[in-house]
Amino acid sequence: MLQRLPLALAAIALPLALREAFLVAPSEQKMGVVQRIFYFHVPSAMMAFLGVGLCAVLSALYLWRRDRRLDVAAEAAAELGVLFCTIVLITGPLWARPVWGVYWTGEVRLTSTLILWLLFVGYLLLRGQAGADRDATARFAAIVAIVGALDVPIIYKSVEWWRGLHPKVLKVSGGGGLDPAMARSLLVCSLAFLLLFAALFLERLRLGRLALEVAALEDRAARIEEGGGAQA
Amino acid sequence: MTLFEVASILGSGVAALGHGLAAVQAAVPDPAFVTGEAAARPDQVARGLRFLNAAYTAVWVILAAYLVLISTRQRRLERQMQRLRQRLGLDGPSAPGRSSGR
């Protein structure tokens, strides 16, 4: 029951987030109605960073402790990182087209976000291609995750290091920032997405544990069959 | 408390801290986005609404597709587990989907 609590809270919070984005948040003067994409685009980016960061931390812990449950949790976090990064990469161009006149440019934040997505899609493909040596695959995937997560600070600081088209929404230094009324709505939407992330992470962890149990049973069945074959 | 729960709580705590910092950072002068009614033509408003609609539809479609994917994988694993348990002769009074063979 307690495990389903984030799911129930997310189901309550998401309609509230929609209300904030469409009814409560004030209109933006220059961009107009299309700026409301912001209220799901930015929280999605935060959750993508959370997923990738969590994956890197759990991967580092896996390399230290060699506990397969940590590897399963890292994979779950990476999957959510890719999920929310996909949302960012789809909602971003849909926002950019009416404002910048193009769906995509070679701007640093956009490019580095695409690189992050490609890195973690690669990570998941690597996990999917796991051969007989599960431990070796898990070790290699953990290293890929830690190296891939180094892209997150680059994405975050890119608008400060390289001046591009992407606005400085969360102030990094010198200017930028957000109207307080918009910031309040962003906070509500971010909390709703955090609950959604927690709910999906717990569900995905349950799936990972189930996969571990199936793998253990498969190993056991294989050992029994090998034993039977040797006796015959 | 399991390691998974600790990791989950830690992740949530870090994210909550990030949101708090974002809220503090947001209250700065010279905002990137300025509130106020846009002086746009009706066709520009309609165009903006089309992109807004497409973006929010994409969010829900992606989330729904992921939930369907998780649910399909769970069903497949449960079937696989049941088959393995039958093969190993482990099917007893325990609840389906639970393994006693760990």
Cβ contacts of A200 on chain B, cutoff 8 Å: 66, 70
Contact across the interface for B28 and A177, Cβ inside 8 Å: yes
Q: What is the pLDDT of residues B41-68, one digit of tens each?
A: 777 788 889 999 999 999 999 999 999 9
Cβ contacts of A224 on chain B, cutoff 8 Å: 88
Substitution target from B3, B4, B47, B80 for chain A, most A beta carbons within 10 A: B4
Which of A18-32, A156-170, B23-37 shows the lowest per-residue confidence on average (mean pLDDT)?
B23-37
> Which residue of chain A has the CA closest to B11?
A54
Cβ contacts of B47 on chain A, cutoff 8 Å: 98
pLDDT of res. B98: 46
Cβ contacts of A175 on chain B, cutoff 8 Å: 30, 32
Beta bridge mates, A32: A28
Cα–Cα distance, A96 to A34 (Å, whole number): 9
DSSP code of residue A81:
H
Cα–Cα distance, B48 to A111 (Å, whole number): 24
CA distances from B18 to A43, A170, B14, B24 (A): 11, 11, 6, 10
Contact across the interface for B31 and A198, Cβ inside 8 Å: no
Cα–Cα distance, B85 to B81 (Å, whole number): 6
Q: What is the pLDDT of residues A135-159, one digit of tens each?
A: 888 999 999 999 999 999 999 888 7
- Say if residues A96 and B64 touch (Cβ distance below 8 Å): no
Residues belonging to chain B: 102
pLDDT at residue A132 greater than cutoff 50: yes
Cβ contacts of B78 on chain A, cutoff 8 Å: 210
Q: Judge residue B96's burial from the number of C-beta atoms within 10 Å of its C-beta, 0-12 exposed, 13-18 middle, 19 or more buried.
A: exposed
Helices marked H in chain A: 5-19, 38-65, 68-100, 108-128, 134-149, 151-161, 180-231
One DSSP character per residue, A84-99 reads HHHHHHHHHHHHHHHH
Amino acid (1-letter code) at residue B5: E
- Say if residues A38 and A189 touch (Cβ distance below 8 Å): no
Which tokens sit at A166?
């992407």
Amino acid (1-letter code) at residue A128: G
pTM here?
Answer: 0.81
Please state the φ and ψ torsions of residue B91, each to the nearest 5 degrees: -70, 110
pLDDT at residue A186 greater than cutoff 90: yes
Cα–Cα distance, A126 to A115 (Å, whole number): 16
Substitution target from A5, A23, A37, A212 for chain B, most B beta carbons within 10 A: A37
pLDDT of res. B88: 85
Which tokens sit at B93?
């009074």
Which tokens sit at A18?
């929609």
Contact across the interface for A94 and B102, Cβ inside 8 Å: no
Contact across the interface for A207 and B70, Cβ inside 8 Å: yes
The distance from CA A116 to its chain's CA centroid, rounded to whole angstroms, is 10
- The number of CA neighbours under 13 Å toward the Cβ of A63 is 13
Given the cut 0.90, state whether the ipTM is greater than it: no
Contact across the interface for A217 and B15, Cβ inside 8 Å: no
Q: In b/e form, how buried is each residue of A136-153, taking b as 16+ CB within 10 angstroms? A: ebbbebbebbbebbebbe
Cα–Cα distance, A144 to A142 (Å, whole number): 5
